[in-house]
Amino acid sequence: MSDMNPFKIAQQQLDEAAKKLGLDPATHELLRWPMREYHFTIPVKMDNGATRIFHGYRVQYNNARGPTKGGIRWHPDETIDTVRALAAWMTWKCAAVNIPLGGGKGGIVCNPKELSEGEKERLARGYIRAVGKELGVHRDVPAPDVYTTPQIMAWMMDEYETIVGHSHPGMITGKPLPLGGSEGRGDATARGGVYCVREAAKKLKIDAGKASYAIQGFGNAGQFAATLHKEILGGGKLVAVSDSRGGVICKNGIDAQAIVKYKLETGKVEGFPGTSPISNSDLLELDVDILYPSALEGVITSANANNIKAKISCELANGPTTPEADAILHNKGILVLPDFMANAGGVTVSYFEQVQNTYNYYWSLADVHQQLDRRMTDAFDAVYNTREKARVHMRLAAYMVAVTRVAEACKLRGWV
């Protein structure tokens, strides 16, 4: 169905913002499409001696504000429209947090779970041989994404440096620390989200240190949100968490560090001592101050939005709230911190990595946290002020901020 096409959704979201902003037709049309995209085939010698052909993509959506930036996904269901949509969203994400980068994205159609380490390395190097001439710190900077890792980034960097003949660590981010990765990258997505929650709580006059919170999705971002909420906000009561296998609840509070340890040891949150079971759907409707949807897209819809009781919903997942639900939550007075603002901490620290690589000087963890805090706070203020002025929900406000910045850069360059 066309309405489920992620790139069509991305275009529709842009259309809504363009209409609200009164964007001229030429600028609107320019921003609806990728500026460049590459399709290529990658032959890889497999461990059994056979050669297998993989299909890869790289989309450079818009570079008006700077070099394009975005992850490389390895997934069996990867499509060019998914990559286009993600590149568009990266464009708006970078603009929303006001970092001088455009949006890009890449992908390879493969199932990495079926590949050996050697096959993964040969595939990673083959990708760079196919598209490396279009990459670089001043052109397009990849990063890890679904099923790609710091090790894969290391192989890609090494292949690129072999081709160009000199050290060039800033051409890719999300690298291991010994090869120029940045301190603070591991928890950056959740940390940026919690900074936004802190600012939202001030606006709503909620005492964040005493607020109750629940986390739907207990992967990397959800686990860090559990502990960072208490660390950054000076307290708070975690009452429920869930993962793909189920959830747990305790009205008296759950020890955040203990349940993270339990999840890492057992691979689940079910059965955590002192808790009762709760479903993912019921967790979303709990009467808590702050909800962190941190798992899948489309979990808050027109079917359950009226039952959401949280005062703040901080989207660490991509696309957890449907457009219909956005309107319902806004009318209910629930403040949604939209994904491409709330979870932009990851790309922001990736930008910091690129900066550190470029001038060959590395920051302390405290420096990274301080710079991330400033960027996320400024982003929240810009979006919240637009929401108040334009009387729109937070996602549309975030789009309006981001699209305005990209459109301005296009006009200043004389493109439109």
**Angle ∠(65,180,107) on CA atoms, nearest 5:** 55
What distance lies between CA 78 and its chain's CA centroid? 17
Specify burial of residue 273 (Cβ count, 10 A radius: 0-12, 13-18, 19+): exposed
Which amino acid is located at 317 in the chain? A
DSSP state of 241: E
**Angle ∠(104,108,318) on CA atoms, nearest 5:** 55
What distance lies between CA 370 and its chain's CA centroid? 20
Angle between helices 323-331 and 394-412 (to 10 degrees): 120
230 is catalytic: no
Of 93, 105, 230, 237, the catalytic one is 105
C-alpha pair distances (Å), 336 with each of 57, 197, 321, 356, 358: 33, 10, 9, 33, 36
Task: Say if CB 123 and CB 47 are below 8 A apart.
Answer: no
d(CA 30, CA 407): 9
**Angle ∠(317,319,322) on CA atoms, nearest 5:** 135
Which amino acid is located at 64 in the chain? A
d(CA 135, CA 123): 17
d(CA 253, CA 213): 9
Residues annotated as part of the active site: 105
